[in-house]
Chain A
Amino acid sequence: MYAFNEGAIPVVDPTSADGIYSLLWLIIALPLAGAAILLVGGRFTDKWGHLLGTLLPIGSFGLSLALFLDLVGRDEADRQVSQHLYTWIQVGGLDVGADLLYDPLSALFLLLITGVGSLIHVYSIGYMAHDPRRRRFFGYLNLFVAAMLTLVLAENYLGLFLGWEGVGLASYLLIGFWQHKPSAAAAAKKAFVINRVGDMGMSTAIMMLFVTFGSTSFTVISEKAGDASDTQLTILGLLLLLGACAKSAQFPLQAWLLDAMEGPTPVSALIHAATMVTAGVYLIVRSNFIFELAPHAQTAVVVVALISIFWGAAIGCAKDDIKKGLAGSTMSQIGYMMLGAGLGAAGYAFAIFHLMTHGFFKANMFLGAGSVMHGMDDDVDMRHYGALRKMMPVTFLTFAMGYLAIIGFPGFSGFWSKDKIIETALADSWLVGICALLGAGVTGFYMTRMMLMTFFGEKRWEKDVHPHESPSVMTGPLVALAALSVLGGIMLAGDWIQDFLAPVVGSEAHDDPPLPALAVTTIAVLVVAAGVALAWMLFGRQAVPRTAPQDVSFATRAARAELYGNQINDGLVVTPTRHLVGGLLVLDKRGVDGTLTGGATGVGALGGLARRAQNGFVRTYALSLLGGALLVVLALLAVNLA
């Protein structure tokens, strides 16, 4: 344990970068250069663009790994390094530097982003091989990686916000990558608009941070956080939570994530499962110095997390589209991370731990789903799958590793990470803990359903579909991610991850849980087993119909409709906004335009009258000249005589 600040909120106090750490900027610069070359270079780079676009993130990964190994070798108190690049903004009291902060938290994120990111780049070479716009796809992917790295490396909230918006842009471009499909274009727009709601929270939070602390730097704010009033800190926490909800697809801003599956599958794996959607969790963990002092905001985080766990799980249970099912699962799993982050110092490390393992197994399963779609002529309906385990052995085995990891099969990475969160939640309160436990059971149910419908049972394929295993450039990353899904739990060995993250998030042994840890684990495994068994009863023993049954309960209908999230948004926001805009339009046309054009018409009519004086007869002009002269003379006389 990181003994000397047990229970205290750690302060960000980095040393200046030297030696190998002075290359920190290069981690962002490499993929950024890739994006610039591929997007500016245009079709001249078509031939080798995807190779360059893959090599650069791999380069970043190598550098991240070197830095990580060096950081682990350092003394615990000396594991925060900052690099000042240049003065970014200097206006009056606002002084923002382009500073990077490299500490255990960002180190782990760098490995996840560049590592999983590189694997997904490799996979995309195969997946996008037949797409005429593959070079552009890699350009966007590189742009995303660069923005995400900026997000986690920034030393102040403004830099973080730059990356935050960058990943939002990349996400928009990639969801709508197949822009010829109206559904993809609409999905991109939807993701962008919902994220603006969160950005409103983020930008307001940043302005408030500046007003309250006079700076946006983590170093300054973590030091001064105690000076702010409770109200200020609570408002700050809630605003940051709003930003996190939009980016991480948490209730109530979750509606965009399912539509985001319109993008190519590698995008869903990288952006909408492994990295970008976890940025909200990163934000909350990074802002631990605010949330630790704002218990009400922490409670809000827990509530949002619990709702999202079940909301996402319900969607995952009902969707027949394999990618949408996985998206619901992502929302639910991020709920677990948020739950960990909302539990305070006892849970931060486990939130990040689950974030890492989820990054592995969910990217694995998304890529597996992409591999299945590749073999099934881009059909995403699981009711048209079945019995694929023999046709796609590698995809099946790697998907199975991800499956066992996500349901929490003992020994697999997800088992360790989820178990720790459930244990911490139980220690916090009975209610939260039991909700987390139930959520794990539902996870077991919907993932088993997906597994059974896809790889087991009878063949339900469409005509003319000949499933085949994907090329090795696609299965290679699958194998690597499957290995990580199995072995990811190793980070917990000897409490390594808690100790490693302690300088950033502090450490705190949670209260004694009401049950011994082993009992909690056993119960969790039993609950999951019950979920798996139920799924087997429904989808393993019985044949799965090729079309979704229509005479189903209200709950199923609601879950298929994503719990009416879109309808709620439409009713509460979209329709009132439309009416408001319609009203404003009428007001603008009739009121504002009416006043202006009315005034102009009046002046014009007046001018038309005055114009009549200009009749072209010289003698009339002479007469008016005389009249004018007479008037002047009379006026002079009147003045002089008076």
Chain B
Amino acid sequence: MNVTAYVVLSGILFTIGCVGVLTRRNAIVVFMCVELMLNASNLALVAFARQHGNLDGQIAAFFVMVVAAAEVVVGLAIIMTIFRTRRSASVDDASLLKY
């Protein structure tokens, strides 16, 4: 089966996520873009698993989902705390930890 379309879609989604992470300041949007990148890689994993006819890639995709879910819990909690203390969700405002 031809997986080119899926891989191209995956690449497009990953690039959109990547550009989002790099350009947006709102922590929630950055977070969503990270999720987008994770799902883009999931799509690539599943597509290649289908091409090779084995389940390795699909299992890896499940792992990514589980880790992403856990990461969402922690990440959102951090964003919530930052917002509560600073009244801002901008990632550039939280820049005190530096040289």
Interface residues of A, Cβ cutoff 8 Å to B:
611-612, 614-619, 622-623, 626
**Nearest-CB distance from A227 to chain B (Å)?**
75
In angstroms, Cα B92 to Cα A623, docked, is 14
Taking a contact as CB atoms under 8 Å apart, the answer to whether A612 and B21 are in contact is no
Residues of A with C-beta under 8 A to B23: 619
In angstroms, Cα B98 to Cα A617, docked, is 8
The 8 A CB mask of B17-33 against A (1 = contact, 0 = none) is 01001110100001000
In angstroms, Cα B92 to Cα A622, docked, is 12
Taking a contact as CB atoms under 8 Å apart, the answer to whether B22 and A626 are in contact is yes
Taking a contact as CB atoms under 8 Å apart, the answer to whether B91 and A618 are in contact is yes
Q: How many residues of B contact A (CB 8 A)?
A: 14
Residues of A with C-beta under 8 A to B92: 617-619
Taking a contact as CB atoms under 8 Å apart, the answer to whether B22 and A622 are in contact is yes
Residue of A616, A619, A622, A626 near B98 (CB, 8 A) is A616
Residues of B with C-beta under 8 A to A619: 21-23, 25, 30, 91-92
Taking a contact as CB atoms under 8 Å apart, the answer to whether B99 and A614 are in contact is yes
**Nearest-CB distance from B78 to chain A (Å)?**
11
Residues of A with C-beta under 8 A to B98: 614-616
Chain B CB count within 10 A is highest, among A612, A614, A616, A626, for A616
B2 contacts partner chain A, Cβ-Cβ < 8 Å: no
Interface residues of B, Cβ cutoff 8 Å to A:
18, 21-23, 25, 30, 91-92, 94-99
In angstroms, Cα B30 to Cα A616, docked, is 16
Residues of B with C-beta under 8 A to A623: 22
17 contacts between A and B (CB under 8 A): A612-B99, A614-B98, A615-B95, A615-B98, A616-B95, A616-B97, A616-B99, A617-B92, A617-B95, A618-B91, A618-B92, A618-B94, A618-B95, A619-B23, A619-B91, A619-B92, A622-B21
In angstroms, Cα B18 to Cα A616, docked, is 19
In angstroms, Cα B36 to Cα A138, docked, is 92
- Chain A residue nearest to B98 (CB atoms) is A616
**Nearest-CB distance from A634 to chain B (Å)?**
16
In angstroms, Cα B95 to Cα A611, docked, is 15
**Nearest-CB distance from A630 to chain B (Å)?**
10
- Chain A residue nearest to B24 (CB atoms) is A619
Residues of B with C-beta under 8 A to A626: 18, 22
In angstroms, Cα B90 to Cα A616, docked, is 13
Residues of A with C-beta under 8 A to B99: 611-612, 614-616
- Chain B residue nearest to A608 (CB atoms) is B99
Q: With contacts A616-B99, A617-B92, A619-B92 known, what are 14 further pairs, Cβ within 8 A?
A: A611-B99, A612-B99, A614-B98, A615-B98, A616-B95, A616-B98, A617-B91, A617-B95, A618-B91, A619-B21, A619-B22, A619-B30, A619-B91, A626-B22
Residues of B with C-beta under 8 A to A615: 95, 98-99
In angstroms, Cα B97 to Cα A33, docked, is 68
**Nearest-CB distance from A55 to chain B (Å)?**
77
In angstroms, Cα B30 to Cα A623, docked, is 13
Residues of B with C-beta under 8 A to A622: 21-22
Residues of B with C-beta under 8 A to A611: 99
In angstroms, Cα B15 to Cα A626, docked, is 11
